[in-house]
Amino acid sequence: MLINLSIKNYALIDNLNVNFTEGFTTITGETGAGKSILLGGLSLVLGKRADMSSLKDKEAKCVIEAVFDLKNYNLKSFFNKNDLEYETHTIVRREIHPSGKSRAFVNDSPLTLDILTQLGKRLVDIHSQHQTLQLTEHDFQLKLIDAFADNAGILDAYTIKLGKYKATLQEFEELIEFQKNANKEHDYNAFLLNELDSIYLEEGLQEKLEDQYEQLNNIETVLENLSKGNQILKDDQIGIISLFQELKSILVKLSGIGNKFTPLRERFDSVFIELKDLAEEMQIMQESIEPDPGKLEEINSKLQAIYDLQRKHDVSDITQLIDIRKTLANKVSATQNLEEAIEDKRSLIEGLKKELDKEADLLSVRRKNAIPEIKQKLEASLSSLGLPNATFKIDTIPAEEYKSNGTDKLIFLFSANKGSDYNTLKKVASGGELSRIMLVIKSILARYEHLPTLMFDEIDSGVSGEISNRMGDIMHKMSRNMQVFSITHLPQIASKGDHHFKVFKTDKEDSTQTQMKELLEDERVFELAEMLGGKSLSDSALAHARELLN
């Protein structure tokens, strides 16, 4: 429920702050007084796109703030989903800056315009001439039937299954398309993979082969140097080991003379052991290494194959070749397993289609069962609104595709007079007839669907007299279960309001301002009298106004 609206620096409004309560509220005012401005300001705070031309003072920001009582709106899940702070009394604020920047807040938490628009639809349903045109659309007409048939739960189940079906169908189509391209590439990828598989690729292989190649390619130099090394170590006359033997004798004699020489001998022993190990290792190497031209050629061939693959795939090391091999293996495997994956997806689609058909068939049955009573209620309500001969032809026929609300095409035809041909509302219903039909539909929806605050913007267009009186009765009856506003030019409707506001303009210095006030009992009499007979306020107009209020 809307409990407060504050508008600053918008169009002809400097500063407006109005409180509202539950029930039926009527809003009147002369043409051009600013009723549309008030509605425009409310639309902005509900998510309508901002227009810089709406700023009264182009150097100051426009701020529109609305306070809502949400205790009956079941909006906690919406707030949680969009990471908004929920409060029973929620404040929605819209700011439009002179720079053109627009910002929106809910309980001081910023939010996008898209989320604000979604929230706005759940807070206030503004009926305008544009929305009357919605009445001619099949989806809106079907919404009436679904509300009456209590199809909300089934529609939710259908929507979930439709989402799964569409997602799976898209995956299936992508697999088919992938298969077309994959088949073209499969042979080439398999060829590349075989090339890489011809060499056992592993981390460090290239370095290992390059090291082996260097040794075998320089085998004569290796053997020559090992031989020289062994000669230096083991020569009987000048070899290092022979000299170390002499040094050992000297250190043994010294250690026998005094303990302070013992550490020298111990250090020598350690070095001498290492030296003999070195000599032994070099001797083994010299004896074990021999030229192997065949092995050298084999290693050279492997290295050349690796270098060729690196050049072919434009990489610099074996790790990148390993990554490329994995990618190719996945592609080849995916192509080989694609047919099985496609069949699995096709089977899944068939299963989802059966579930979807079951929900859609249930919707169709319930809609057909609800149509006779809806038709009766529409015609009875319109009869009381001055259309005694208005009749409808309503039916559903199967559609060829899954739609967002089922598989039904709706036939919704109207005739306002006896003997007239039935046709779509768009073709045969006048503006006044559309307004009355829309009001009746809203009143039916209000009984079966939890609607937000309803604001009718001149829904009385094209009607007058007793018919407008009855339309006012319908809106007042609706307000027993929800908050209803009506912006109206008709005194018969204005008099039905539990609360009556007047929008008017005042001149202040060099500017015109739009203001709004709630009328007291006597003020309502004068306002209704003016609406009935003009500014002259005749006794008969005043008497008629009092009669309307009573």
Three-state secondary structure string covering 398-466: EEEEEECCEEEEEEEEEECCCCCCCEEHHHHCCHHHHHHHHHHHHHHHHHHCCCCEEEEECCCCCCCHH
Whether the predicted pLDDT of 131 surpasses 70: no
Q: How does pLDDT run across 221-240, given as a tens digit for each residue?
A: 777 787 788 777 777 666 78
Q: What is the pLDDT of residue 503?
A: 93
pLDDT digits (tens, 9 = 90+) for 58-106: 888 999 999 999 988 889 999 999 999 999 999 999 999 988 889 999 9
Q: With 70 as the cut, is the pLDDT of residue 292 above it? A: no
pLDDT for 287: 67
> Among 93, 123, 133, 135, which residue's Cα sits nearest to residue 110?
93
Higher pLDDT, 216 or 119: 119
pLDDT at 284: 75
pTM of the model: 0.67
The rounded distance, in Å, linking the Cα atoms of 288 and 308 is 33
pLDDT at position 244, please? 80
DSSP H helical ranges for 313-424? 318-384
Q: What token pair was written down for 470?
A: 């009855």
Tokens linked to 423: 């046709």
Which residues are registered as beta bridge partners of 125? 454
Computed over every residue of the chain, the mean pLDDT equals 86
Of 70, 114, 64, 63, the C-alpha closest to 89 is 70
Question: Smallest Cα–Cα separation from 36: which of 505, 546, 398, 350?
Answer: 505
Poorest-pLDDT segment among 60-64, 215-219, 348-352, 533-537: 215-219
Which amino acid, residue 349?
I
8-state DSSP, 348 = H
How many CA atoms does the CB half-sphere of 482 hold within 13 Å?
Answer: 23
All structural domains of the chain, each given as residue ranges with its CATH number in brackets, are: 1-127+452-519 (3.40.50.300), 181-336 (no CATH), 522-550 (no CATH)
Q: Which residue has the higher pLDDT, 482 or 204?
A: 482
Whether the pLDDT of residue 5 is over 90: the answer is yes
pLDDT digits (tens, 9 = 90+) for 487-520: 999 999 999 999 999 999 888 777 888 899 999 9
As a whole number of angstroms, the distance between CA 437 and CA 456 comes to 13
The tens digit of pLDDT for each residue in 165-203 reads 999 999 999 888 888 777 777 777 778 778 887 777 777
User: Residue 497: what residue type?
Assistant: G
524-530 long-range contacts, CB within 8 A, separation 24+: 524/495, 524/500, 524/549, 525/549, 527/28, 527/494, 527/500, 527/502, 528/491, 528/494, 528/495
Q: How far is residue 64 CA from its own chain's centroid?
A: 27
